[in-house]
Structures are given as structure tokens and as C-alpha cells.
Amino acid sequence: MDTLEQIQQYMSQTGMQQLLTGLYGQGELEMQQSRYEQLIGNFLNHYGADMSGLQLFSASGRVEIGGNHTDHNHGKVLAGSIHLDTIAAAVPTSEPIIVLVSEGYEGEFKINLKESSAADSESATTKLLRGIVSGFLEKGLEVGGFRAYVTTNVLAASGLSSSASFEMLICTILNHFYNQGTLSAADISKIGQYAENQYWNKPSGLLDQMACAYGGMVAMDFADPSQPQVEQLQYDFQAAGYSMIVVNTGGNHADLTEDYASVPNEMFAVARALGAEFCRDITLDQIYADLPRLRRETGDRAILRAMHFLEENRRVDHQVEALRQNDMPAFLSLLTASGNSSWKWLQNCYRDSDHHDQSMAIALAITEIYLQDIGGGACRLHGGGFAGVILAVVPNEHAAGYRALIEKTLGTSIYDIRIREKGAFCLNALL
């Protein structure tokens, strides 16, 4: 049997097509089957290995529906795992070495599990691998070597959480190969966050990792980040008459770490000025009662960002209730309000240091005018902000017109987003 026949036989396992259909939809089945076959072929071509021990893994990207920049201050978020994902073919090895090839990047990423320290010159991918291994070891978990070939269609630097998707993929591989798959979505999310915070110097909360790992649409409450409360919601936007569309706005994707960090740091400053640690522990009445002093000590933007947090938290509760009641007009109104708050109060639509590049604002303005003209839908800034993507919820009958408008005006990529039930997992474990 030649290699191609081996791969096709592997992909014809009972339940594989049903699993792929559930993940990506019937319309993408043929394309996704070809994608996985190519993944396995690339693995075999690179490593020269046979098929024994090979396993397939997937970790979704995520869409943020409500709760922009709230998780780091112990807030609430509404998000969902999406059909765009990072996938891997991997085999465990007896050597204490992780070797990874990521499609689109040169060479191999390799770490020795006996060497935990990261050099400043190492790539972000290598640092994340080291951070994840360190996170497993700190929790007393098992780690071991593996070889993997990875590819992704989660747009980088887009707010769809390509880095968290990668982290959850690696965590899932280690969980499945060496920990009997016993770790929960919350467990691996915390390890991914630890890797970002400690090894990549990214001040992220848990939102991205949880939304990529958990699966489905989830309402998350980070009042206690060590034990976030998660509620799964069942809602089919397509069946309700709406398409969820993510638009890549283009623009400058320079290092945004300082811009991202300023958001939680300014919120923390307002909370501290009121005798608390996080904005979750303050109220709007407290801000109003001490506004002159707060403006002097923290600055107006910090106060606006804290006000955004408080109102956004309430909006997430109302969004969840609207979906429970199948009240799309209320939900769309709340989505619009969330976008307006991010633009006006949170102020993460563009960088202060580069006011010439306002790609997100341009995309939002074009979208708002279109939705106003058709009399329906909603849009909002998506993800960390400053650059990246926006989210539009457009009536199905106007989705094609909206895509054509974006192509004509911006010429950037556009993605139809579907919520999928599985987050980060090993496909073979479900066959």
C-alpha cells in the first residue's frame, strides 16, 4: 500500500466524515477531508515516519460576542468556539524532545524537555512551547516528547485568537499523550495563560484560551479566575436568519503589547483609587461620588475604561438573556451598544500613536452605514482591538451584498463564522 492509500484509508475510519461534518459543516466536508489528508501527507514527508501512533488534533479559534476587555478585571464574557481552527498530526516519542513544524514557517521548532529556560532570542512559538511544558510541570503533570506537523486557518493578528488556538492545541496533545486526557478545558486554559504571561510577556486574561478550549457558545464569569463559571448556550444564528461575519480590516499589526496592557492597567488604577483591586469590585456610584479626585489621579481615559467595564458586564447578562428568549432585536441592540462602548469609552479602535491608521474605524463606519440602509443587523469591534477584525451580524438575505461591499471598499479577507460544539480535542478519541 502506498502512502496516499494509507492516508485515504486512515481518513475513511468509521465516524471520521461524520466528525468532520459536525466540526465544519456539510458544505466544507470535501475541502476539510482534503486538508487533513494533506496534513498527514506533510507529516509523513517531513518526518519520514509510518502511520503507527499518529493522532489528529484540533483547537478552534474563537469569536467574542460580548465582554470586550473585561476578563482581566474579573468580568463577564460571551464568546464561542468557531470552525476556523489549528490542526496537527502528531506522534509521541520516547525522546524528551518536542519537535514541531508549523506550515508557513521555516524550519523546525524544537525544545528539550530537560531545558526549561528560554532565551530572549528564541521565537514566540518556542517560548510558548517552553511555557506550556513549564505550566504542566508546575501542576505536577506529566510531559513527554512528540513530533507534530501543524497548520491553521485562524487568521493571525486578527482577534480570532490564533495564539490561544495554538496553545490549546499543544496542551491537548500533552494532555492526550501523557495525562490520559484527564485535564479539563479550564485546566489547559490556565496553562496557556501561564505560558503567555510568563514566557511571552503577554498580559492576557483567560478569555481567549477558555473560548478556544471549551466548545460551543459560552457565557463566562471570571469573578474567581481560578474557577471561572461557564454556561453553555445553544443558539443557531443562521437558523435565526443571520450570518456572523468577521472582516479583516487590514492596517498596521505592529507590536501592540503596550496598547493592550494599558487597558487593564488603567482599569486597575481606577479600582485601586477606590480601595479595590479589580473593577469587578467597584460600582458606578463610587466613581460618580469621587469623580474629581479620580480624574486628577487616574486620568479621564482610565475612568472611561472603568465605566466601559461596568456597563459591558451588565450587557453580557442581558445578551445571554436575549438569546435564551430568542429575542434577536434586543440582542442586536446590545451588540451595537457593546461596539459603541468599545469605540467611545474603552477607546481601543485605533492607536493614539498612529492616528493616520484607523482601519477598524473605517470598516465599522462602512458597516454601520450598510446596516442602517438595510434596516437590520449589528456590528462591533472584535478582540483586543487597535488593529485586526470586526464582527458583523447581518441578515442572511443581505450577507452577499455586505461581502461585495467589503471587497469593493476594503479588499480585505472576510470570514463566515460558525459556532462549533468542540473546542480543543483529539479527533481519534471520538472515533
Helix (H) or strand (E) holding 266: helix 257-273
Q: How far is CA 199 from each of CA 117, 119, 384, 396, rounded to the nearest angstrom?
A: 9, 10, 20, 43
Residues spanned by the domain of 392? 242-417
SS3 content of the chain, % helix, strand, coil (to 5): 50, 20, 30
Q: Is the domain of 157 the same as that of 266?
A: no
Query: Can you count the helices (H) and strands (E) in the chain?
Result: 14, 12
CB 350 within 8 A of CB 360: yes
* 317 DSSP β-pair partners: none
In a shared domain, residues 277 and 200 = no
How confident is the model at residue 158, as a pLDDT? Answer: 66
Quote the DSSP letter at residue 367: H
Same domain, 297 and 216: no
Q: What does each C-alpha distance from 44 to 6, 48, 150 come to in angstroms?
A: 11, 5, 12
pLDDT at 357: 87
Please indicate, yes or no, whether residues 275 and 365 belong to a single structural domain of this protein.
yes
The amino acid at residue 329 is P
Question: What is the three-class DSSP state of 69?
Answer: coil
Cα-based distances in Å from 317 to 67, 125, 308: 10, 36, 14
Q: For residue 32, give the C-alpha cell.
A: 476539510
β-bridge partners, 244 = 393, 417
Same domain, 149 and 262: no
Same domain membership, residue 387 and residue 247: yes
Q: What is the DSSP string of 35-47?
A: HHHHHHHHHHHHH
Together in a domain, 231 and 264: no
Are 18 and 111 part of one and the same domain? yes
DSSP annotation string for 244-263: EEEEE--------HHHHHHH
Q: What is the pLDDT of residue 96?
A: 96
CATH number at residue 34: 3.30.230.10
Return all residues near 416 (Cβ < 8 A) that are at least 6 apart.
243, 244, 245, 399
CATH number reported for the structural domain that contains residue 411 in this entry: 3.30.70.890
How many angstroms separate the CA atoms of 346 and 166, rounded? Answer: 28
Q: In tens digits, what is the pLDDT along the chain, a chain of 431 residues?
A: 567 788 888 888 889 999 999 999 999 999 999 999 999 999 999 998 677 889 999 999 999 999 999 999 999 999 999 999 999 999 999 999 999 999 989 899 999 998 867 667 788 899 999 999 999 999 999 999 999 999 999 977 667 889 999 999 999 999 999 999 999 999 999 999 999 989 887 767 788 999 999 999 999 999 998 888 999 888 889 999 999 999 989 876 567 878 888 999 999 999 999 999 999 999 999 999 999 999 999 999 999 999 999 999 999 999 999 999 999 999 999 999 999 999 999 999 988 888 888 999 999 999 999 999 999 999 999 888 888 889 999 999 999 999 999 999 999 989 899 999 999 999 999 98
Q: pLDDT value at position 20?
A: 95
Q: How far is CA 195 from the centre of its chain?
A: 15
Supply angle C-alpha 78, 345, 367, rounded to 5: 70
Which residues, at least 6 apart from 275, have a Cβ–Cβ distance to it below 8 Å?
none
pLDDT, residue 387, reads 84
C-alpha cell of residue 275: 480601595
Q: For 144, what's the count of Cα atoms within 13 Å in the CB-facing half-sphere?
A: 16
How many whole angstroms separate alpha carbon 246 and alpha carbon 161?
13
In this structure, are 301 and 155 located in the same domain?
A: no
Q: What one-character-per-residue DSSP string does 184-243 give?
A: -HHHHHHHHHHHHHHHS-----SHHHHHHHH-SEEEEE-SSTTS-EEEEE---TTTTTEE
Domain co-membership, 156 together with 250: no
The total of structural domains in the chain comes to 2
Give the three-state DSSP class for 340: helix
Please tell me whether residue 52 adopts helix, strand or coil conformation.
Answer: coil
Q: Measure the CA angle with vertex 417, ends 412 and 419; round to 5°.
A: 160
- Please answer whether residues 248 and 388 qualify as being in contact, where contact means their C-beta atoms are separated by less than 8 angstroms: yes
Residues 261, 190 share a domain: no
What's residue 118's pLDDT?
A: 66
- Is 186 found in the same domain as 42? yes
